[in-house]
Structure 1
Amino acid sequence: MPLTLTLTEGVLPVGSENTAVERITEAMLKWHGLTGNKVMTPNITAMVHIQPKGTTFSGGKPFAGAWVEWKTPSFAFADREVQKGFFQEATDIIYELSGGKQPRDNIYVNVVHTPDGAWNLDGKAMTNEEMGQAISQG
């Protein structure tokens, strides 16, 4: 389940991106009750994109932002309490790592769901039920 962390240059101190990815990954696993799961943990991947100042916008005007985006099967983040808790924690992580400088209202968290059956582990397309069975083995 890939995490894409996109940041305007300067939102986080250089070098803290690794800490952000680690903490956001841990939070995702925690909120889904999967901390330590041997199937899910290695299948959470991440990409960090640092955008130069002047290339990120709000309302058509340049600004500094942070975006936390997950691509997941549709059963992930389906519970409202998981959504609220994780989104708050992810926002807090970025805010804290910015030294309190990044405004919370310029930290965005979202989830993109794939259709059932359009996910894979080990190169095999799996339904939500198959994914659940695989995860339960971990």
Structure 2
Amino acid sequence: MPITLTVPEGLLSPEAQARAFAGLTDALLDVAGLTGNAFMTANVIGTIKVLPREHVLAAGKPIATAFVELKLPEVALASAEAKQAFIEKAADVVEQAAEGRLKREHIWSNIVYAPEGAWGIAGDSYSNADFVGAIQGAAAAS
């Protein structure tokens, strides 16, 4: 489940970037009720994009901000409550990592869903049922 964290240069130290990404991973697993699930844990992946300050904008102007994007199969975090919980936790994680250099109102998040059958892991396409089965299989194996 790719997470992309985008920030301007200088907002987060390399250590804070790592803490933030780990926190975003934990937030996703917690909200999904899948902490400790081997299948899900191994497939929470992502990138940290650190862009030149002048390339990170709000209202058309450079600003200290952070963007969190989460991509998932349609069956993951389907409820409004789960989405809200992830977005709140993501803002908490990024705000803490910024150590006072970022206003909470300058943290944006979005969740994007892959269409049915368009989720791939290791070259295999997963339907929503296959994805749920893989998660349940990993839970049963633990």
Separation (CA, whole Å) in 2 of partners of 1:103 and 1:88: 14
Separation (CA, whole Å) in 1 of partners of 2:87 and 2:128: 23
Q: How many residues are treated as equivalent by the alignment?
A: 138
The letter for the 2-side match of 1:114 is A
The letter for the 1-side match of 2:107 is I
> Which residue pairs with 1:38 in the alignment?
38
Q: Could you say what secondary structure the match of 2:53 adopts?
A: coil
- After superposition, give the CA deviation of every residue in 1:28-82 in whole Å (9 maximum; x if it has no partner): 0010000000111111111111011111111211112101101111112211111
> Which residue pairs with 1:101 in the alignment?
101
> Which residue pairs with 2:136 in the alignment?
136
Structure 1 or 2: larger helix share? 2
**TM-score normalised per structure 1:** 0.95
> Which residue pairs with 1:3 in the alignment?
3
The letter for the 2-side match of 1:82 is A
Separation (CA, whole Å) in 1 of partners of 2:55 and 2:84: 29
Q: Which runs of 5+ in 2 are unaligned?
A: none
1:96 CA drift (Å)? 0.9
Q: Does 1:58 find its partner at 2:58? A: yes
Q: Could you say what secondary structure the match of 1:100 adopts?
A: coil
RMSD of aligned residue pairs (Cα, Å) = 1.1
Q: Which runs of 5+ in 1 are unaligned?
A: none
- After superposition, give the CA deviation of every residue in 1:93-135 in whole Å (9 maximum; x if it has no partner): 1111111220111111111111100012332111101110111
- After superposition, give the CA deviation of every residue in 1:10-45 in whole Å (9 maximum; x if it has no partner): 222332111111111011001000000011111111
**TM-score normalised per structure 2:** 0.92
Separation (CA, whole Å) in 2 of partners of 1:61 and 1:71: 27
Percent identity between the aligned chains? Answer: 36
